Amino acid sequence: FVFAGNEKEPQVLNVAHRGASAYAPEHTIPSYKLGDRMKGDYIEIDLQMTKDGHLIAMHDETLDRTTNGTGQVKDHTLAQIKELDAGSWFNETYPQYAKKKYAGLKVPTLDEVLAHFGSDKKYYIETKAPEVYPSMEEELLRILDKHGLTTKEKLENKNVLVQSFSQASLLKMYHLNPDVPLVQLFWYDTPGSITDGELEAVKRYAIGVGPNFQRIDREYVQQVRKHGLEIHPYTVNEKADMEKLIEWGVTGMFTNHPDRLHEVLRGK
């Protein structure tokens, strides 16, 4: 089965989760650069929205964990967020990977990330907390459009995949532009299963699903594949798990260690 890349060789997509976030502060330009250098096929970007309507790359709805600020993103303007240090927390938490240059890093906007890496790179973008940010899908499309990522060629080439746990957000994206490839995320706290009916419903708007890998099994993967959908589990950091999932037939996965996944794929 061919999803992307070399037409002759089946490919398992290597998604650099928050960049190469095992080695650099997540959702910063150095983390994304490292993900690219470590042969990630996609840069994964979580989106939050500032008080004044800018989409920024950040996982949490609050500033506390990944910056020296506090409080909700939605209560801060971009100018206020640009004052913050998005790298020192990483140096303190992971001294083995600390680098002086990480101290004082800024939170990037989506616009800045796309300007930095250009329209030939591939981006796997998540609408986070869309119920908190009612217009984030429109703004996302506006920014993608601005960077030439919504042309027929770029959409067919899957230069952008949009993912969300929120079906409502994906349906909104679908209605705004049905050609943007979408991935429905799932989180299971008990062993995951998915019915034919659920998969047919997903297939109406999305090209694939993304479950947490710990709760799925071979049967789940094959059930998804039987419906012709992609399956990109998250977040897979150990080589033994990567190998197991590839053997089950996944078509990609999210990892904080794109270098490890590259080694696993190259070794095959």
Q: Does 17 bind ligand G3P (CB under 6 A)?
A: yes
**Per-residue x/- track, 127-166, ligand G3P (CB under 6 A):** ------------------------------------x---
Q: Does 254 bind ligand G3P (CB under 6 A)?
A: yes
Q: Does 46 bind Ca ion (CB under 5 A)?
A: yes
Q: Does 26 bind Ca ion (CB under 5 A)?
A: no
Q: Does 126 bind Ca ion (CB under 5 A)?
A: yes
Q: Read off φ and ψ for residue 255, nearest 5 degrees.
A: -145, 145
What is the rounded CA–CA span in Å between residue 4 and residue 11?
7
Q: Which CB, 109 or 184, lies closer to ligand G3P?
A: 184
- Closest contact distance (angstroms) between CB of 212 and ligand G3P is 8
234 binds, among Ca ion, ligand G3P, none (CB under 5 to 8 A by kind): ligand G3P
User: Which of 210, 211, 252, 258 is the binder for ligand G3P (CB under 6 A)?
Assistant: 210
Closest chain position to ligand G3P (CB): 234
Q: Does 126 bind ligand G3P (CB under 6 A)?
A: yes
Q: Does 208 bind ligand G3P (CB under 6 A)?
A: no
- Closest contact distance (angstroms) between CB of 74 and ligand G3P is 18
Q: Which residues are catalytic?
A: 17, 59
Tokens of 174: 């679908």
Q: Which CB, 133 or 223, lies closer to Ca ion?
A: 133
Instruction: Summarize as ranges the residues that interact with ligand G3P (CB under 6 A).
Output: 17, 46, 59, 126, 163, 185, 210, 234-235, 254
List interacting residues with Ca ion (CB under 5 A): 46, 126
